[in-house]
Copies of this chain bind each other. A is one copy, B any other.
Amino acid sequence: MKFAKIPMATIVRLSIYMRTLQELLEDDVDVISSERLAKQCGVNPAQIRKDLAYFGEFGVRGVGYRVNELVNQIKDILGLNRPWNLAMVGLGNLGSALIRHGNFIKHGYMFTAAFDIDPQKIGKRLPNGLIINHVDELEEIIKQREVHVGIITTPASEAQSVANQLVLAGINGILNFAPVQIQVPDCCHVENVDFTIKLDSIAYHLSFGS
């Protein structure tokens, strides 16, 4: 898998196609054309075909794509046909809410560690059964439990230091909810989720038209 250099935008769109295809599956649709899928995802049909073409041929000419096959093929492409273990660092409002949020589980992600520094929280059991550990134990526990991805939901001020510790513990993927740009070595891939930036985009659009 993976021949040419794949645009990041393609990867993101593949996730979106997959989500939509999974919904279609639930509605018992078993074949779909790039045209119909494109409409549902809000993209151009050729875009879908090109995105998939980076990785092979998955459709049937004159017919379309078999939905359940394509879901699995996209999962293969993205590396989702295996479990991924997550560690949450920072169990404030947001962190706790995310752990309780069903969407991670639904897509095959599993929380296997949770950290905070608040003595009041250490040792507490979360609704999913996980016990909150002190950040001091981060490296050891992350290695022990084979965590793959760290999620940072600490205040901005702590994010960089947490990121450093995650990297030290051997983590190569970070999902960062703290509103700062964290610096990591090239071996580590960071994705940022900053909703106030999205709000800024909305504000811009509302202020100055499309």
Contact = CB atoms under 8 A, between A and B. Distances in A.
Copies in the complex: 2
A180 B40 CA distance: 10
Given A93-B97, A198-B175, A199-B107, A149 B206 contact: yes
A44 to B, nearest CB: 15
Given A15-B197, A41-B181, A193-B195, A206 B172 contact: yes
A204 B194 CA distance: 21
Contacts of A84: 199, 203
Interface residues of A, number: 64
Contacts of A109: 196, 199
Contacts of A203: 78-80, 84, 149, 173
A207 interface: yes
A11 interface: yes
A96 B94 CA distance: 9
B196 A104 contact: yes
A45 interface: no
A174 B78 CA distance: 29
A144 interface: no
Given A11-B200, A103-B179, A172-B206, 10 more contacts: A2-B209, A97-B97, A109-B196, A149-B199, A149-B203, A173-B205, A175-B202, A177-B195, A189-B201, A193-B193
